[in-house]
A and B are shown apart, each in its own frame.
Chain A
Amino acid sequence: MIELQHVSKAFNGLTVIDDLILHIARGEFTVILGSSGSGKSTLLKMMNRLLEHDSGRILFAGDEIRSCRPEALRRRMGYAIQSVGLFPHWSVEKNIATVPTLLKWPSDRIHDRVTELMTLLQLDAKLYRKRYPHQLSGGQQQRVGVARALAGKPEVLLMDEPFGALDPVTRAALQLEIARIHKALGTTIVLVTHDIDEALSLATRIVLLDQGRIVQSGTPLQMLSAPANDFVTDFFGRGDVGIKLLGLQSVATRLRAGERAAGEPVLASSSLHDALSIFLSRRVDRLPVVDGDGHALGAIDFADLLDLRP
């Protein structure tokens, strides 16, 4: 979908992106992770030409991105940012309709698309359609921001620390939402963050960036279980790699099918991290496992947690 070939970028002689090679496949949820100053935001903004790269080539759907007007390119990509950047003088409806309006869709199609997106992001279309951004909570504003980014049916969705300014509860809810949307729509998503847990829980692929270079890229599991070097280990937290690994895998992967246990059951879909917490808080070493409808599936032993299977 997006291919970066030997891309470099410098600001005032200071190299920010250094000969970077990256291929983002269609349908992937790529999280570009790095501390501040690692060049992750610059990398994202070069993809939609908010910043121009100095050397190398960037291809989007097979074409060099400089082969068409930047506006035309950007209308094919959704863009959501941290401070939302909603237009304060436009209603929610008009904000979401920004790109469809630019693309000159017919008005009834725009109307339907706004309703569809508000429903997708669990905003009551009747209630909020005509509201202005300042009448919404931070979480609702960010939902509108995501809806607006998705409105023009973009081929790829670029998100620059979209949940950075939200409180932990709202952030978690929106992370779930975006994961659900990714699954439902299959949109290619590129998200920039410095939040390790956000990266681990959302990404199908993490790209860890430091000083304008890719240190390692791979699935969350690979990043934790097979770190390329000490920097990666330190970045993800040397002390609690094990705990983080448990967070990536579900109870279903350790299920002892058909076996029985006493007590309150855990969901097969919950993470091993949750299971560990239940083991410890109840002081038991065996838990029954059920599916979402409450049907017994089997059991899980405390010792099964040790069986790390990357």
Chain B
Amino acid sequence: MAWVKNRVLAVLVLAGLAAALGLSFLTQAPNRLAAGSGISLVQLVSDTGGQPIDAWLALLPALLLVGAIFMHPARSTQILVCLAATLLLTGLAGMAASHATRLAGQSGAIARTSLGGGFWLLAAFSWLAATDAMQRLAQKPIWRLLGVGVVIVPLGLLLGGGAFKDLSLLKEYANRQDVFNAALWQHVQIVLASLLPALLIGVPLGLASSRSRALRPPLFAVLNVIQTVPSIALFALLMAPLALLAASVPVLAQLGIKGIGLAPAVIALTLYALLPLARSTAAGLSQVPQPVIEAAQGMGLTARQVFWRVELPLALPVFLAGLRVATVQTIGMAVVAALIGAGGFGAIVFQGLLSGALDLVLLGVLPVVAMAVAVDALLKALALALEPNVND
């Protein structure tokens, strides 16, 4: 096996090959609810409908990737893998899109072409190949992060240009554009409305627990218990008291607080976000080396200066990691909040589940995933930017 120079790539290519041959690349269904029949990648390539350019766009980079397995892992090879994988990802999507457009022309308006398991796996593998090559190329984590983002730029351009409009997923979007936009806005609203109070409560709690040893065990015991309650149970637990509260205090009811809807969702998500925020605040502050604080005091910094100039900046990276966890967790959990009528992407997901329209489910899930990944990357980049530069 000495001639295999890049084992990661070899595994990805083999797995990709299996996915390409074993799973359907697209599925074609007579309408949005009926079960479709699969179209394999081989069928697709052999039947390019007079547009072989599409097939070559995917095949050529695939061959390059196979070749790169056996090439000496120099910088140039990694750049090649990066480019080939990006091209493959774009080519696969392009192929799916153009085929969908052609099928839409042949069969009627209600026929649906969906992306199959083969496409999703191949897309994931090419993205992994690009990411892996990027990791080997870039020294600084910030460049890796940016590089991984760049890989999906061509896809974004295709999406923006309307290339995918005949895929079932995008048809679902076109049918429910206003619902989708409202859901996006609601989702962001739920997340922000939960995180803001969580920050306002969690950070001071973490601060207090790092200052007072006695507070720490009971505080984290309570927060841990909250964390272990399943979200649906917590939503349900909040419904009765909130309904009662709204009934007895009409002012609150006028403000929109009631047993179902936004209020219980925001309260529950706030409670869940408290643990990561309070814990990371406490952990961040407690890992500031004691000698550094003593030196700062001995130098004549006031207690306030010690906090703002020394403790806070040194605790920030750990705190940002906690904020990341809390944000990503809230974005994900907000989906479930749709069950108690809070809206957001969860509403689309559950509508899809109930009507058995898989693409509608995806329409709700994908933006949530994208949002979580984007916020995660953003906060990671922020944490990296705050660290003093090692390689100057």
Contact = CB atoms under 8 A, between A and B. Distances in A.
| Chains A and B bind each other | yes
A72 B292 contact: no
A79 B295 contact: yes
A132 B388 contact: yes
B294 interface: yes
Nearest to B302: A71
B289 A79 contact: no
B392 A85 contact: no
A79 B291 CA distance: 12
Interface in A74-91: 74-75, 79, 81-89, 91
A72 B300 CA distance: 7
A99 interface: yes
B296 A102 contact: no
Contacts of A72: 300
A93 B296 CA distance: 16
Interface in A112-154: 130-132, 134-135, 145, 148
B291 A89 contact: no
Contacts of A48: 298
B298 A74 contact: yes
Interface string B290-312: 01101111111110010000100
A79 B298 CA distance: 6
B313 interface: yes
A176 interface: no
B74 interface: no
A95 to B, nearest CB: 10
Interface in B268-298: 289, 291-292, 294-298
A50 B296 CA distance: 11
A81 B294 contact: yes
A98 B298 contact: no
Contact of A71 (B291, B292, B300): B300
B289 A71 contact: no
Interface in B351-392: 388-390, 392
The majority secondary structure among interface residues of chain B is helix
Contacts, number: 69
Contacts of B392: 130-131, 135
Given A85-B291, A86-B292, A88-B292, A98 B314 contact: no
Nearest to A91: B388
Interface string A56-77: 0000000000000011111100
Given A83-B289, A87-B310, A88-B292, A99 B298 contact: no
A48 B299 CA distance: 9
B388 A148 contact: no
A72 B302 CA distance: 9
Contacts of A79: 295, 298-299
A71 B298 CA distance: 8
Size bracket, chain A contacts: 20 to 34
Contacts of A86: 292, 295
Contacts of A130: 392
A91 B392 CA distance: 12
Contacts of B389: 132
Contacts of A82: 291
A89 B300 contact: no
B299 A50 contact: no
B300 A75 contact: yes
A65 B383 CA distance: 42
Nearest to A82: B291
Contacts of A83: 289, 291
A81 B296 contact: no
B337 to A, nearest CB: 39
Contacts of B296: 85, 87
A17 B295 CA distance: 22
Contacts of A85: 289, 291-292, 294-296, 298
Contacts of B292: 85-88
Contact of A99 (B289, B294, B300, B302): B300
A70 B296 CA distance: 13
A54 B94 CA distance: 80
Nearest to B317: A89
Contacts of A131: 392
A102 B295 contact: no
A75 B300 CA distance: 5
Contacts of B301: 71, 98, 102
A71 B302 CA distance: 6
Contact of B299 (A88, A89, A102, A132): A102
A240 B291 CA distance: 36
A83 B389 CA distance: 22
Given A87-B310, A88-B314, A88-B388, A148 B299 contact: yes
A102 B300 contact: yes
B298 A50 contact: yes
Residue of A84, A85, A102, A135 contacting most chain B CB atoms (<10 Å)? A85
A91 B388 CA distance: 9
A127 B392 CA distance: 11
A81 B302 CA distance: 18
A205 B300 CA distance: 27
B388 A98 contact: no
A102 B308 CA distance: 14
Contacts of B289: 83, 85, 88
Contacts of A87: 292, 295-296, 310
A22 B298 CA distance: 21
28 contacts: A48-B298, A50-B294, A50-B298, A70-B300, A71-B302, A72-B300, A75-B299, A75-B300, A81-B291, A81-B294, A81-B298, A83-B289, A85-B294, A85-B296, A85-B298, A86-B295, A87-B310, A88-B292, A89-B314, A89-B388, A98-B299, A98-B301, A102-B300, A131-B392, A132-B388, A132-B390, A134-B390, A148-B299
Interface of A: 48, 50, 70-75, 79, 81-89, 91, 98-99, 102, 130-132, 134-135, 145, 148, 158
Given A72-B300, A85-B289, 11 more contacts: A82-B291, A83-B289, A84-B295, A85-B296, A85-B298, A87-B296, A88-B292, A88-B314, A88-B388, A130-B392, A135-B390
Q: Please give me the 10 A-B residue pairs with the lowest Cβ-Cβ distance, nearest first.
A: A85-B295, A79-B298, A74-B300, A75-B300, A85-B291, A83-B291, A71-B300, A132-B388, A85-B292, A89-B313
